[in-house]
Structure 1
Amino acid sequence: MRPLITQDEIEMLRHDLDMLEEQNLVGIEVYEALHLLEMRRQTAKLELIKRVLENKA
Structure 2
Amino acid sequence: MSEAVVRVLKTRGISVPAEALQRIQSCTDSDTLERWLPLAVTTATRVEDLFDLTPEAEPKD
Q: Same fold (TM over 0.5)?
A: no
Is the radius of gyration larger for structure 1 or structure 2? 1
TM, length-normalised to structure 2: 0.36
Which has the larger helix fraction? 1
More relative contact order in 1 or in 2 (CA 8 Å, sep 6+)?
A: 2
